[in-house]
Amino acid sequence: MSGLGSVAAEAGRRFGDTPAYVAPDGEPLSYADLDRRSDAAAVGLLHAGVGEGDVVALTLPSSLAYVIAYVAAAKVGAITAGVNQRLSAREQTAVLDVAQPKLVVSEPVPEVNNEAPPELADDPERPVAIVFTSGTTGLPKGAVYGARQLAFIASIETGGQWGAGGRALAGTSFAHLGFMSKLEGVLMRGTTTFIIERWTAAGALQMAVERKLTGLGGIPTQLALMMREPGFDDADLSSLRTIVMGGGPATPSLVQEIRRRFRVPVLTRYSCTEAGLGTGTMPDDPPEDAELTVGRPQRGVELLFDGDEVCFRSPATMSGYWNGPEFDGVVNTGDIGWVDDAGRLRLAGRATEMYVRGGYNVHPQEVETVLAEHPSVASVAVVPRPDDVMGEIGVAVVVVRKDQRAPTLDDLRTYGRDRLAAYKLPEAIRVVDALPLTAMEKVDRRALIAAVTPSPPG
């Protein structure tokens, strides 16, 4: 046995009765039980006709059953394809059409007692996981990760050391890159991870207090929502040691607020589904690193550029796309960026999100970074709207900070005019209660564009 299966077995020996995962109802799954039950489920998969190289699609929610099934599949050499439950039925079907699984698992895998699967020969190139892109710009693509990539990611995450422990919250879907690619590292650390049925700001805050979490990870939107919860400033978060933030851009003002109000260091991580690892900041880096940049390349990661677009190449990048286009080893993130004089990567936005106003290119993230510092703005997204004269203009979609007056368009333009060229300033505003999110927990810009675009006459 090798890879994820052997890590689970060793973690079972080292950490025994320590809970690895805890279900929303409080049921614990110890490290020893994870190894034992994944053995039993692996035999169940073999009895169902699943073998080495077969794809097992998990349509399970993020749960103890998901963790067991993923490890079990690895123990028989099968490939796990996670299917995000937040996707619509049509989107899930599109994912399954790409995965072409031998078995779709929607219920816990039957566990066959008193048996263990045959040991697998070591094969670093054996595929272990398929992680799907969001599919917001077309059909979803499945990034394949093998034993070699997962082992490298674990070595970077842990420094090759066992232990350290800690208590964490599972804040995003297990079908995401974070869980699928980093489970080995989580098991090596002996972390206890608490699962919630569906992430809410109130639930995450309550969990952080009651379970005395030592680490908190999430996308910027999640952390911003937690700080808007009534009673946040009175919550006992003294157990927290760090916050790791990734999965989307964060404005300098938001990073500063998170550091000030959570009272712990804020680390940023930047990558994409196909890259595995990318750039990041470290606890002893100057505060401005996390505020203004997404840090420096992680160990073993080569930062490249295709024109202005950010690219990565490393031992962590995917093997290729499952039943998809050819892959040359270089991941193009689709983000525009540059390296500053201190060697830090700075992002300007998505290449595909750029719009053209009167012949000038506008990158929404640049505008959002400025407008988000307005004292009345809790969060903001800038999206284009068709215009007969300019071709496209920017619409600022704003969530108002608690107890503040909603800003007017003139307020925002006046606030931003000293830092942005006039053509970059928004020319319309819409106030909303919350920004819509995709199934991948990112701002749903397509939904915003549809909401601000007038319907055609007739």
Same domain, 368 and 318: no
Task: Give the model confidence (pLDDT) of 311-362 as tens digits.
Answer: 999 999 999 999 988 999 999 998 889 999 999 999 887 788 888 888 778 8
Task: Give the model confidence (pLDDT) of 51-69 as tens digits.
Answer: 999 999 999 999 999 999 9
Q: End-to-end alpha-carbon separation of the chain, Å?
A: 65
Of 296, 329, 348, the position where a domain reaches its end is: 348
Domain-located, residue 300 = yes
Instruction: Decide if pLDDT at 157 tops 80.
Output: yes
- Phi and psi at residue 95, to the nearest 5°: -65, -45
- 147 close to 123: Cβ distance less than 8 angstroms: yes
| Domain tally, the chain | 2
Q: pLDDT confidence of 49, banded at 50, 70, 90?
A: very high
Domain-located, residue 457 = no
Task: Give the model confidence (pLDDT) of 119-156 as tens digits.
Answer: 999 999 999 999 998 654 457 899 999 999 999 999 99
- Domain containing residue 438: 354-452
Q: What is the pLDDT of residue 253?
A: 84
Domain-located, residue 51 = yes
Same domain, 338 and 363: no
Same domain, 314 and 364: no
Instruction: Decide if pLDDT at 1 tops 50.
Output: no
Same domain, 294 and 422: no
Q: What is the pLDDT of residue 136?
A: 46
Q: What is the pLDDT of residue 238?
A: 97
Same domain, 281 and 166: yes
Rounded distance, CA 331 to CA 336, Å? 13
**What's the pTM value of the predicted model, to 2 decimals?**
0.84
On average, the pLDDT of the chain sits at 92
Give the domain CATH number at 34. 3.40.50.12780
Longest dimension (CA), the chain: 74
Same domain, 196 and 135: yes
Q: What is the pLDDT of residue 439?
A: 74
Same domain, 151 and 297: yes
Domain-located, residue 458 = no
Same domain, 446 and 329: no
Give the domain CATH number at 404. 3.30.300.30
Mean pLDDT of the 351-379 span: 89
Pairing of strands 355-357, 360-362: antiparallel
Domain-located, residue 272 = yes
Which of 305, 407, 427, 408 lies closest to 362 in space, CA to CA? Answer: 427
- 177 close to 273: Cβ distance less than 8 angstroms: yes
Same domain, 398 and 445: yes
Mean pLDDT of the 210-218 span: 95
Residue at token pair 């992430």: 199
- 224 close to 200: Cβ distance less than 8 angstroms: no
**DSSP letter at 235?**
S
What radius of gyration, in Å, describes the C-alpha atoms of the chain?
23
Same domain, 339 and 287: yes
Residue 140 burial (CB count, 10 A): 22
Of 348, 373, 398, the position where a domain reaches its end is: 348
Rounded distance, CA 148 to CA 125, Å? 6
Domain-located, residue 268 = yes
Of 325, 348, 371, the position where a domain reaches its end is: 348
The more confidently predicted of residues 24 and 361 is 24
Domain-located, residue 293 = yes
Side-chain-facing half-sphere of 168: CA atoms under 13 Å: 24
